[in-house]
Structure 1
């Protein structure tokens, strides 16, 4: 009798990072549940991953902003996953968010409210079972507010704080909570932006880092992708506020 394959629930399955993460798990022998609002794109990713692995890949419809249906989403899962990875992200437009409250709300709710509520629900199910790993993809943008993207940064800061609190609460259990903070990543969301090569990761790099952190025996609680972002953000966070305001970041 062989052990059953483990199952990954990937929240945000239509993103480039989501696809790369799901593929990393699938190639390690995991079954994959892809959760996404756009089922057409999710189907393409499902088919691509299925051709590169031998394990099951399925799709569950999910609108992260429809918070009233998050509980039924968890209830309807075909199996309680061993690990959940949330890569949901919405960069939005800072200038628009300054006057369009619906746009600002959408960015904040997509990056913070929806993911936090869903991962909180899954944490309770994992706690009742006695095992599980939770991975939330936040951002270095949440380490310090910048004038150029503070709506996005604030939402990611909130998500990082939620994950930190959840990790603290569950520290005496067998559950793991990992925060992933990518810097620049070459994806469709950053298309057209000038990205510094030595600070810019590929989606596959992020996916591999997530798998290593969540499933490795010595994984960190908080990982930066790429690792150079850790000292960079420490330095940025240490700049006194009067000087930071003059930098115009």
Structure 2
């Protein structure tokens, strides 16, 4: 039985993953901004088999409360051995281009708040000599593209931070997993035209569950995004800068 802290728990990907955990009878501590949605989700997860489900309302950008969050979750659950960080916003690229304040707001939510949480969790797990850290990053961080480079910058920073943590924590027995989804059909992407490359939150949730079971390092979801992004990364800059991606 795992003792799992999920931050950004009401996101479509996190909820789908939590249902998979519930099936195993795991104990869950859910953190998000909306108590009503958290309460409904907790009830659903208990019905699906979760042994214990606790909730907390928190704005992840209030980084001063992150240390207390980790401590409270650990005290309430008895221990913590897994954390899934899945919160984020899909940046309005045009708004960010026009305003540094908008850019900073997106970087705070998608990058700095994540790094703050990871700093606290990494120190705790390093001390206890075990644990699994899972963070939802994105294929958008693999290369800067004109359509979403502010969002991509945030995700690239998170990915690099996770690489360093993985290297640092390996000898302490702590697993650090980077999840890189491609296009996912969620409320956040409701206005986008969907195609064959799009995945459901349930597919991503199952992939996250398998990554934890297998103690993977970096996982592209669905799998074919690894090869798509390889091609994109290998394209020479002299060619890539002419594209309209």
TM-score (norm 1): 0.94
Matches within 5 A, 1:15-94: 15-77=11-73, 78-79=76-77, 80-94=79-93
- Contact 2:26–2:50 (8 Å) recurs in 1: no
| CA displacement at 1:54 relative to structure 2 | 4.4
Q: Distance in 2 between matches of 1:155 and 1:142?
A: 7
| CA displacement at 1:26 relative to structure 2 | 1.1
The answer to which of 21-30 and 39-48 deviates more is 39-48
Q: Distance in 1 between matches of 2:117 and 2:52?
A: 23
- Where does residue 234 of structure 1 map in the other structure? 230
Residues 153-203 of structure 1, C-alpha deviation per residue, up to 9 Å, x if partnerless? 000000000111100111222110000000001100110201222x21111
- Where does residue 247 of structure 1 map in the other structure? 243
Structure 2: segments with no counterpart, 5+ residues? none
CA RMSD of aligned residues (A): 1.2
- Where does residue 150 of structure 1 map in the other structure? 149
- Where does residue 205 of structure 1 map in the other structure? 203
The answer to which of 124-133 and 175-184 deviates more is 124-133
The answer to which of 50-59 and 162-171 deviates more is 50-59
Q: Distance in 2 between matches of 1:104 and 1:243?
A: 27
Q: Distance in 2 between matches of 1:53 and 1:72?
A: 28
- Name the CA shift for 1:35/1:54 in 2 (closer, same or farther; >3 Å): closer
The answer to which of 232-241 and 100-109 deviates more is 100-109
- Where does residue 188 of structure 1 map in the other structure? 187
Residues 89-134 of structure 1, C-alpha deviation per residue, up to 9 Å, x if partnerless? 2112100111233322221111111011102211111111111000
Q: Distance in 2 between matches of 1:56 and 1:237?
A: 43
Q: Distance in 1 between matches of 2:132 and 2:29?
A: 15
Equivalent position SS for 1:171: helix
Which protein is richer in helix relative to its size? 2
Structure 1: segments with no counterpart, 5+ residues? none
Q: Distance in 2 between matches of 1:166 and 1:231?
A: 25
Runs (4+) of structure 1 exceeding 2 A deviation are: 100-103
Q: Distance in 1 between matches of 2:111 and 2:24?
A: 29
How many residues align structurally?
242
TM-score (norm 2): 0.95
Residues 2-21 of structure 1, C-alpha deviation per residue, up to 9 Å, x if partnerless? xxx32111110111011001
| CA displacement at 1:60 relative to structure 2 | 1.7
